[in-house]
Chain A
Amino acid sequence: MNVYLLQVINGVGIGMLYFLLAVGLSIIFGLLRFVNFAHGAFYLLGAYFCYQALQWGLSFWLALIVCPIVVAALAWIAEKVLLSRIYEKAHEFHILVTVGLALVVQELVIIIWGPLGDNVAVPEVLDGVVMWGNFIYPKYRLFLIGFTAVFAAVLWWLLEGTRLGSAVRAGSESSEMVSLLGINVFRVFSLAFALGAGTAALAGVLAAPVRGVEPFMGIEALGIAFVVVVIGGMGSFAGALVGGLVIGIVQSLMSTIWPEGARLMIYVAMAAVLLMRPHGLLGRG
């Protein structure tokens, strides 16, 4: 089979993970107007919680549901205890507090699970490959694409079709106006933050069987999430999807064409997009 086609399909899989990672960041940014530097830490926690759950002999499917919820709950607490106190402060403090939070999480992960990473087994059902004529593809990656696509649809419905979603979207336009309409905007903030963290954790759980776990995966993920959001356009759901897919496919293709430069090319792609469209592909000017 054509190796490039295979890499494009691979890229879609990776891209959907990047989308999950970035969409939470984008929601949080859109509503709360600050860059959440702890976003990578939530992804890290998702991956490690999944690892721990499997160590305890729990099933991957349970981990897939429970881990993101636990992380979302932790993020909700962090928002209540830390972030809600500093919304009115200058944005360097938003960044500093989330950078601090990310450091604390990363170091706690090292203390609990050690500085070295480990592999995470692919769930048995999804182990192995699918063969379709001369098309051969790992089952887990197909599942990844399908699952994230379904989740993206659910998330889209959540944002476009529910009251919470319209509060989130209206809040991104003008949080003052939303609170004047009688909606408790701080409650929406907390929920959106938890939702964003939960999607990052979900990306972590899904990524764990692909790339294993290690304490510094959070920082790497943070960088990628930023690029995806910058390429796609801030605060845009569709932008995160397009950005994620672009980055995933670029990275995948480049890993065949020029393996050493695959990660560099992600950033070159970003620079190219920004030169043509300063606000990102789907960003509002």
Chain B
Amino acid sequence: MLVRYRFWLLAAAVTLILPVTLSSGTLATEVLVYALAVLGCNLLLGYTGLLSFGQGIFFGLGSYTLGIMLTRTALPMPIAIVASILLGAVIAAVVGSFAIRQKGTYFVMLTLACAQMFYFFAYTATDWTGGDNGLLDIPRKSLTLGGKTLIPLETPWQFYTFVAVVFLIVFAALLRVAESVFGRTLLAIRDNETRAAAIGYHVKTFKLVAFAISGAVTALAGALHALMTGIAPLSNIEYHTSEMILVMTVIGGTGNLFASVLGAAFYVLAADWLSTLWPRWLLLLGLLLIAVSLFMHRGLWGVGESLWYRITGKRSDGDANGKLDTQGDAT
């Protein structure tokens, strides 16, 4: 029982540790919001072998959808969130159908080019997105039913609780996806696409569904981010957001969903800390990325795992980290 749910329990532990160790509820929420986005990216990169440089599209889209719905209509917030998720899935399927016609590096460039296209679209469509200024004053009302407050969301920590619950539900759902036959097929595609196709799997459909799920989760993260900050800025759909999500994913380690939570937590907390020390902290981030690429091929999770094996002197089973052996054919 414990072993089966170990990753979910680890994630739950993180949601409990964050409030104890951090003084800012917003920072803790940010960790979980980005963890969601990174989970979406990891599903593509770690499980399907698709390196998407366009995750910012779905993140920004989620922010804008929620922002537009809450500032222009009187619809309740949960409906806006659901709409963001659905739109994220649809647009991800569209972008995906474009991009998966190509493989490898060509695919990466296509996703980045799509990201730039959506960025300039958001920049140009000022009536909808507010252009450079973004959407401002997105309300965050408590959820009420018949005049009674069901879930209060006013303070940062109340909102954190809400996000933590959403995060744990999504994490559980993604674990189910990853461990399902569908998830295992994605792994097969990642490891050897030709063979998976030869066995009879319709590889494109699997990739497309993975894309849609990833887009949905990332859009949810974007929507929660807009709700957290009260704005949907242009920067949420920028190159940097795509880059950041991808960087968090690789720093955490791919092929294991909990690694994404580590990656997001590490990046958000390190960025928060370093940016108070030195405005040019991105330089350090750049050096860190170079170091990770040269020396830490399996990310923070890989480092933790190696330590664990050294302590316990055994190898584990069951995780989706056959990555080490297959790195050679990934390109």
Q: Which residues on A are within 8 Å of B, measured CB to CB? A: 29, 33-35, 82, 85-86, 88-97, 99-104, 106-108, 110-111, 219, 223, 226-227, 229-230, 234, 260-261, 263-264, 266-268, 270-271, 274, 278-279
Task: Check if A263 sits within 8 Å of B120, measured CB to CB.
Answer: yes
Task: Check if A35 sits within 8 Å of B286, measured CB to CB.
Answer: no
Contact code string B281-324 (vs A, CB < 8 Å = 1, else 0): 01101111110111001000000000000000000000000010
Across the interface, which residues of B come within 8 angstroms of A223, CB to CB? Answer: 112-113, 116, 239
Q: With contacts A88-B328, A110-B280 known, what are 16 further pairs, Cβ within 8 A?
A: A29-B105, A34-B105, A91-B105, A92-B330, A100-B287, A100-B293, A107-B280, A107-B282, A107-B283, A223-B116, A226-B112, A264-B121, A267-B113, A267-B114, A267-B121, A274-B110
CA distance A213 to B247 in the complex (A): 27
CA distance A33 to B328 in the complex (A): 13
Say whether, besides A91-B331, A223-B112, A270 and B117 are in contact (CB < 8 Å). yes
Q: Which residues on B are within 8 Å of A, measured CB to CB? A: 45, 51, 53, 98, 101-102, 104-106, 108-110, 112-114, 116-117, 120-121, 123-124, 239, 243, 246-247, 250, 254, 280, 282-283, 285-290, 292-294, 297, 323, 327-328, 330-331
Task: Check if B106 sits within 8 Å of A234, measured CB to CB.
Answer: yes
CA distance A226 to B331 in the complex (A): 19
Say whether, besides A35-B109, A104-B286, A230-B110, A99 and B247 are in contact (CB < 8 Å). yes
The minimal Cβ–Cβ distance linking B70 to chain A, given in whole angstroms, is 26
Return the contact of A96 from the options B102, B105, B247, B282 (Cβ within 8 A): B247
Task: Check if B290 sits within 8 Å of A104, measured CB to CB.
Answer: yes
CA distance A71 to B101 in the complex (A): 35
The minimal Cβ–Cβ distance linking B112 to chain A, given in whole angstroms, is 6
CA distance A223 to B297 in the complex (A): 27
User: Can you list 7 pairs linking A and B with CB atoms under 8 Å apart?
Assistant: A33-B104, A91-B330, A106-B282, A230-B106, A230-B109, A230-B113, A264-B121
Task: Check if A226 sits within 8 Å of B113, measured CB to CB.
Answer: yes
CA distance A90 to B294 in the complex (A): 11
Task: Check if B289 sits within 8 Å of A91, measured CB to CB.
Answer: no
- Which residue on chain A has the smallest CB distance to residue B251? A96
Across the interface, which residues of B come within 8 angstroms of A260, CB to CB? Answer: 124
The minimal Cβ–Cβ distance linking B207 to chain A, given in whole angstroms, is 15
- Which residue on chain A has the smallest CB distance to residue B111? A226
Interface of A: prevailing SS: helix
Task: Check if A34 sits within 8 Å of B331, measured CB to CB.
Answer: yes
CA distance A116 to B280 in the complex (A): 14
Across the interface, which residues of B come within 8 angstroms of A106, CB to CB? Answer: 282
Across the interface, which residues of B come within 8 angstroms of A219, CB to CB? Answer: 239
The 6 A-B residue pairs with the shortest CB-CB distance in the complex, in nearest-first order: A100-B289, A103-B286, A267-B117, A107-B283, A104-B286, A97-B293
Task: Check if A96 sits within 8 Å of B124, measured CB to CB.
Answer: no
The minimal Cβ–Cβ distance linking A41 to chain B, given in whole angstroms, is 10
Task: Check if B330 sits within 8 Å of A111, measured CB to CB.
Answer: no
Say whether, besides A223-B113, A267-B113, A97 and B105 are in contact (CB < 8 Å). no
Across the interface, which residues of A come within 8 angstroms of B328, CB to CB? Answer: 88
The minimal Cβ–Cβ distance linking A172 to chain B, given in whole angstroms, is 13
Task: Check if B290 sits within 8 Å of A227, measured CB to CB.
Answer: no
Say whether, besides A82-B294, A91-B330, A260-B124, A103 and B116 are in contact (CB < 8 Å). no
CA distance A227 to B112 in the complex (A): 9
Say whether, besides A229-B109, A264-B124, A100 and B288 are in contact (CB < 8 Å). yes
Across the interface, which residues of B come within 8 angstroms of A88, CB to CB? Answer: 327-328
Across the interface, which residues of B come within 8 angstroms of A226, CB to CB? Answer: 109, 112-113, 116
The residue in B106, B117, B254, B293 that gathers the most chain A C-beta atoms within 10 A of its C-beta is B293
CA distance A82 to B117 in the complex (A): 31
Task: Check if A35 sits within 8 Å of B105, measured CB to CB.
Answer: yes
Return the contact of A95 from the options B51, B106, B113, B282 (Cβ within 8 A): B51
CA distance A88 to B282 in the complex (A): 27
The minimal Cβ–Cβ distance linking A102 to chain B, given in whole angstroms, is 7
